[in-house]
Amino acid sequence: MNQYSVQKGDTIAQVTSRLQTDWQTLRTQNPRAIGRSKTNGNWFVREGANITVGKGSFSAALSQATESKGASRLQSQRQPEKVSEYTVQPGDTLWGLAVRQYHVNLQDLIRDNNITNPDLLEVGQKLEIRQAGPQSTKEVVASWYGEDYHGRPMADGDPYDMHANTIAHKDLPLGTRVELKNPRTGQTASAVVTDRGPFIEGRDIDLSYGLASKLSLVDAGVDTLMMEIL
């Protein structure tokens, strides 16, 4: 059980990182601590609110990692990867290391290091970080999302910027960099995975409005792109 009293100037991203949780868990377990601006529709955490987060996403991640161990390991074996060792520093969290620093799946980080309590990290503890190497270009079905979601928290805790070069993907680690190309126009653009989705069958990625504009996808709504994981 993690607890925190919201301070002046705290953002949703800062609070979720401090509590080692995600936006959905924070919002679900603490509805009275969350507000939404009537001016621009942005969500925020209320100053002075006392937030309590239970097992939440970290326990779910641990459970998912255990249940999907076989399938995940088979997928990893198909990808070239590099393994490095990291020494835990003061203030480190599993969420921060996975999402902000190394861009790996939290579930993999937990499983690879046999972590039984994701809320506890010891300074000096050695962690194995397994990162996938560059991947071959593949065809993906892309759509886009824009103004209706502008300013709302994404899966990485940051507010969605419809003009930034970001994409939503179902399972690529948050922070993963990709190169996208529209084969019809030859236009290319780089992007970062910051959100989860799309949630419509048959689609692989959701582009920000700005990215869709650069790749001539806005009018079409849905189109096929080439994607390379960098």
Q: What percent of the chain has pLDDT over 90?
A: 28
Check which CATH number belongs to the domain holding 195 and give it: 2.40.40.10
Same domain, 85 and 42: no
| 145 and 219 belong to one structural domain | yes
Q: Check whether residue 162 and residue 189 sit in a common domain.
A: yes
In terms of domains, do 142 and 121 share one? Answer: no
User: Are 67 and 46 members of one domain?
Assistant: no
One domain, residues 73 and 109: yes
217 in the same domain as 149: yes
Contact 3, 21 (CB under 8 A): no
- Under DSSP, is residue 169 helix (H, G, I), strand (E, B) or coil? strand
Q: Taking the complete model, does pTM exceed 0.85, yes or no?
A: no
Per DSSP, the three-state class of 163 is coil
Q: Is 150 exposed, middle or buried (0-12, 13-18, 19+ CB in 10 A)?
A: middle
Structure tokens at 123: 């300074």
Local structure of residue 100 (DSSP, 8 states):
I
User: Do 187 and 163 share a domain, yes or no?
Assistant: yes
H-type alpha helices, the chain? 12-18, 23-29, 56-67, 69-77, 94-95, 106-112, 209-214
Full DSSP string of 90-106: TT--HHIIIIIII---H
pLDDT tens digits, one per residue of 66-109? 444 444 443 433 455 678 889 999 988 888 888 778 878 888 88
The domain boundary residue, chosen from 116, 132, 148: 132
Q: Given a cut of 50, is residue 24 above it in pLDDT?
A: yes
Instruction: Please state the domain count of the chain.
Output: 3
The domain of 152 spans 138-229
- When pLDDT is cut at 50, 70 and 90, the band that residue 205 belongs to is very high
Q: Are residues 69 and 127 in the same domain?
A: yes
Question: Contact, 203 vs 142, CB < 8 A?
Answer: yes
Identify whether residues 75 and 45 lie together within a single domain. Answer: no
Q: What CATH number should be reported for the domain holding residue 49? A: 3.10.350.10
Would you place residue 41 in the very low, low, confident or very high pLDDT band (cuts 50, 70, 90)?
low
The letter for the amino acid at 1 is M
* Together in a domain, 202 and 164: yes
pLDDT of residue 42: 66
User: Do 75 and 153 lie in a common domain?
Assistant: no
Q: What is the pLDDT of residues 112-166, one digit of tens each?
A: 888 887 777 888 989 988 877 666 688 999 999 999 899 999 988 889 999 999 9
